[in-house]
Amino acid sequence: MKSAEGGDSDGQNSLGECYYYRVRTTKDEEKAVRWWYLKSAECGNSSGQNNLDECYRNGIGTTKDEEKAFHWYLKSAEGGNSNGKNNLSYCYENGIGTPKDEKKAFQWYLKAAEGGNNNGQHNLGFCYENGIGTTKDEKKAIHWYLKSAEGGNSSGQNNLGSCYYNGIGTTKDEVKAFQWYLKSAERGNINGQNNLGYCYENGIGTTKDEKKAFRWYLKSAEGGNNNGQYNLGYCNQLKERIIMDNTILAIVITVEMEQQKMK
């Protein structure tokens, strides 16, 4: 607070984060945004600019304003902030506060990725895999997914697992696919959790284990993943069918035994 009041932009941004995340003070999103993030951003602090535009984009502590969000993402990105570069790319890719422009999205993802941002690396891999703003190149896609995955990005880990599973940009390897799905799932990624469940259900890259499959489908489903919810429902339906079939079988055996006794 003393640093912020003295005009230090890093201190202003950090104080804003304290109010935003309730660090040793009462949570106050409006004070975080309208006072400290804004002050930090106006002083040219790229982290403050990125935090401010996140708030404008999502309407946190202020009125939602996608054009202002884009404005501050651009400032942050031009100031060298790797998160700002990645978020600016997302705006260009999806037309948030600016006309949609996949080539510009790719260019900023590339800048973010080369700056070591693991979200940017994942998104750049996705661009290469799907030909978004650039020529489709599966080898480059897996290269950037690997960088992102090694940096701890759960989406990168999941997509890298899918590359190994489907042989995209590399030789198909179910064991490696399972290992990366596991890393992704353990970090809380709902897509990774669903894919890990599928591996356990079908014995892909690991020993078949329906109990573990069910547990990971459940985690994925609880996180809101549609595929996880479907697979969990299928497991429950299958379980009910097995119980019903066993019940019918038991009745048939009992009837046959009674008939034998009567004879």
Q: What is the pLDDT of residues 31-74, one digit of tens each?
A: 888 778 888 999 999 999 999 888 998 898 999 999 999 999 99
Of 56-70, 111-125, 136-150, 239-253, give the lowest mean pLDDT range.
239-253
Greatest extent of the chain over all pairs of C-alpha atoms, in Å: 101
54's CB contacts (< 8 A; 6+ apart) are: 60, 69, 87
| pLDDT, tens only, 71-102 | 999 999 999 999 999 999 999 999 999 999 99
Beta carbons of 53 and 68 less than 8 angstroms apart: yes
Band the pLDDT of 253: cuts 50, 70, 90: very low
Report which of residues 217 and 139 the model is more confident about: 139
pTM for the predicted model, two decimal places? 0.81
Beta carbons of 19 and 46 less than 8 angstroms apart: no
Residue 26 has pLDDT above 90, yes or no: no
Q: Which of 210, 219, 209, 233 is nearest to 185 (CA)?
A: 219
Best-predicted range by mean pLDDT (11-25, 38-52, 141-155, 212-226): 141-155
Backbone phi, psi, residue 185, to 5°: -65, -45
- The DSSP result for 227-250, as a single string, is HHHHHHHHHHHHHHHHHHHHHHHH
| pLDDT, tens only, 159-199 | 999 999 999 999 999 999 999 999 999 999 999 999 999 99
Query: What is the C-alpha R_g of the chain?
Result: 25
Task: Work out the mean pLDDT of the chain and round it to a whole number.
Answer: 88
Instruction: Report pLDDT for 232.
Output: 79
Question: In order of start, what are the domains of the chain with their CATH numbers?
Answer: 1-64 (1.25.40.10)
